[in-house]
Chain A
């Protein structure tokens, strides 16, 4: 006989009791984006973040913004976030990419992507970071299946039935599956012994927002400059987000300048088509490096977003790739539950890894290659890429292909993005 007071039975009962089906470490963007659809599908979820909700919610305008691909916008619509941020978004109606040289303006050949060429509508939307974060926090607060815990993870232990997290407060949390959304230095990944490969681009991205005299008409610009790309991305009103890459040394010099001198350096890089410009909000720098986890899954554990693949933000692909992870993982887990499978089992998680690893490696390589090819002042290479851009521009089918790629409509799409 084994009664309820038998120590073995008690230990067993504890193993079979779960605080939540799914424990998500990281309450930034991908964590909430994953928590919401999982809760909507019936999973109970706990989101753990060291920062308090108040700190995360009350951010003022700081100039950080995302270029959301159409597929990402669809996912945000499905999980009830888009309605909360739509009024703050700016559709990207056209993308103009051209080869540029400091002080000389755009080259005669350029790529022009017009959203009117694909039936799905604008290929993307610009949205400030603060509106997205706030919408996620508000939506999570209204979802009874989501619990939020303000704490730091100290240890994680996996056994045959689940995962136990020990938090800095000494509290423990038990779930069936652990998801690491804790960024490119993911503690979840390192505690699981997952190694990473990273490489440095030798570049730093300078990020700021500008107010300009003339309207942007919803057009995004990307200039491929010898030191690195410069993107001008339209925000609502006469405001644009600037992402600008330079070698580490040059970036450090520029960043040390006063606002006025900073603008003097920036101004000649994209000409005067927006009229007078002035800085709005803070300036940021991000060293550009790529880091890929050797595995996206381990026993009862999955990694999403930068925790799996930290990417060069050359075309705003970081968040878009993270949301694709979200869509894929939700698909895989939901289908597993409907089949009666253990959704945290190795064979189920392997399907998520297989789906996302190919996509992200392709994207990381393409982004890296694009950057290397364009961040170069070799006259032959310059002629070749100018010619190449002219060809893509002249062939409508090819151009539509690029537009669909930019809109995130290629590859195997998760249900939430269709």
Chain B
């Protein structure tokens, strides 16, 4: 299914298609995502629990919540959300990711609705969600404002939108492109284009223009000594995440 109007840059989709098969190998091509994942999940689960008044200690804390994972890839976020009880739609513009994610969800005994569809197409179809996860996608789209507007349209009133991306400054260029793509070889060369990176202030402004109300922003910081990622209140210099709500 090819949506007529899409803001996904076709060249970007092709790059990720080439990487799709190795999604679930923690030491494979997606090692950096596996390393970052606990930190992303901590932020996401705490934001959802806070916004919807859920207890993470309780069984099935996200039951009754309809959640969309945009750019779901192999399902690294979709599966945890389904395990916590959410009804999950995983959307990816790369068709090859869908069967990979489906096969893995079956092995995990999880029911997840994976679709080869864009956020814009879902919005046009009138789909509505309590939570939209928009992680590490916005830096790959051709028109961020149109894309974020579609994300807002996908939310029920009071719905939560979580969006992470990479800052644009000399340090993020050094870390995310030179470091991750060239030195560490964590990501294939050409994964990111620095001029598409967005600063936190620019993102807040774009979110507001899209009709969302930003409520939180935090940094994801990599510590090269402990070799671990953590959530930071202050350091948003490279990877960062935002939470915003649909006030309508």
Residues of A at the B interface (CB closer than 8 Å) are 16, 42, 160-161, 335-336, 338-342, 345-347, 350-351, 354
4 residue pairs, one from A and one from B, having the closest CB atoms = A340-B80, A347-B26, A339-B41, A340-B84
The DSSP consensus for interface residues of chain B is: helix
**Which residues 224-244 of B have a CB within 8 angstroms of A?**
227
Say whether B107 contacts A160, CB under 8 Å.
yes
Say whether A350 contacts B41, CB under 8 Å.
no
Would you list 22 pairs from A and B whose C-beta atoms are within 8 A, ordered by A residue? A16-B109, A160-B107, A161-B107, A161-B109, A335-B38, A338-B56, A339-B42, A339-B45, A339-B80, A340-B41, A340-B45, A340-B80, A340-B82, A340-B84, A341-B37, A341-B38, A341-B41, A342-B108, A345-B26, A346-B27, A347-B37, A354-B227
Could you mark each residue 77-109 of chain B with 1 if its beta carbon is under 8 Å from any beta carbon of chain A, else 0? Answer: 001111110000000000000000000000111
With both beta carbons as reference points, the residue of chain B lying nearest to A412 in the complex is identified as B226
Could you mark each residue 38-54 of chain B with 1 if its beta carbon is under 8 Å from any beta carbon of chain A, else 0? Answer: 10011001000000000
How far, in Å, is B80 (CB) from chain A's closest CB? Answer: 3
- In the bound complex, residues from chain A placing their C-beta under 8 Å from that of B84 are 340
Say whether A340 contacts B108, CB under 8 Å.
no
A161 to B110, CA, bound (A): 11
With both beta carbons as reference points, the residue of chain B lying nearest to A338 in the complex is identified as B56
Determine the interface band of chain B, counting residues with CB < 8 A from chain A.
20 to 34
With both beta carbons as reference points, the residue of chain B lying nearest to A332 in the complex is identified as B38
How far, in Å, is A369 (CB) from chain B's closest CB? Answer: 24
With both beta carbons as reference points, the residue of chain B lying nearest to A347 in the complex is identified as B26
Say whether A342 contacts B37, CB under 8 Å.
no
Q: Would you call B192 an interface residue if the criterion is a C-beta within 8 Å of the partner chain's C-beta atoms?
A: no
Say whether A346 contacts B26, CB under 8 Å.
yes
- In the bound complex, residues from chain A placing their C-beta under 8 Å from that of B56 are 338
- In the bound complex, residues from chain A placing their C-beta under 8 Å from that of B34 are 347
Say whether B37 contacts A338, CB under 8 Å.
no
How far, in Å, is B111 (CB) from chain A's closest CB? Answer: 12
Q: Would you call B59 an interface residue if the criterion is a C-beta within 8 Å of the partner chain's C-beta atoms?
A: yes
- In the bound complex, residues from chain B placing their C-beta under 8 Å from that of A160 are 107
With both beta carbons as reference points, the residue of chain A lying nearest to B41 in the complex is identified as A339
**Which residues 105-160 of B have a CB within 8 angstroms of A?**
107-109
Q: Would you call B57 an interface residue if the criterion is a C-beta within 8 Å of the partner chain's C-beta atoms?
A: yes
A346 to B27, CA, bound (A): 9
How far, in Å, is B61 (CB) from chain A's closest CB? Answer: 9
With both beta carbons as reference points, the residue of chain B lying nearest to A161 in the complex is identified as B107
- In the bound complex, residues from chain A placing their C-beta under 8 Å from that of B227 are 354
With both beta carbons as reference points, the residue of chain A lying nearest to B84 in the complex is identified as A340
- In the bound complex, residues from chain B placing their C-beta under 8 Å from that of A346 are 25-27
**Which residues 9-35 of B have a CB within 8 angstroms of A?**
25-27, 34
Say whether B108 contacts A42, CB under 8 Å.
no
How far, in Å, is A90 (CB) from chain B's closest CB? Answer: 37
How far, in Å, is B156 (CB) from chain A's closest CB? Answer: 21
- In the bound complex, residues from chain B placing their C-beta under 8 Å from that of A345 are 26
Say whether A42 contacts B83, CB under 8 Å.
no
Report which residue of A16, A335, A340, A342 has the largest number of chain B beta carbons within 10 angstroms of its beta carbon: A340
A161 to B108, CA, bound (A): 6
A339 to B45, CA, bound (A): 7
With both beta carbons as reference points, the residue of chain B lying nearest to A342 in the complex is identified as B108
- In the bound complex, residues from chain B placing their C-beta under 8 Å from that of A354 are 227
Contact status of A340 and B37, CB under 8 A, knowing A42-B59, A161-B107: no
Say whether A350 contacts B109, CB under 8 Å.
no
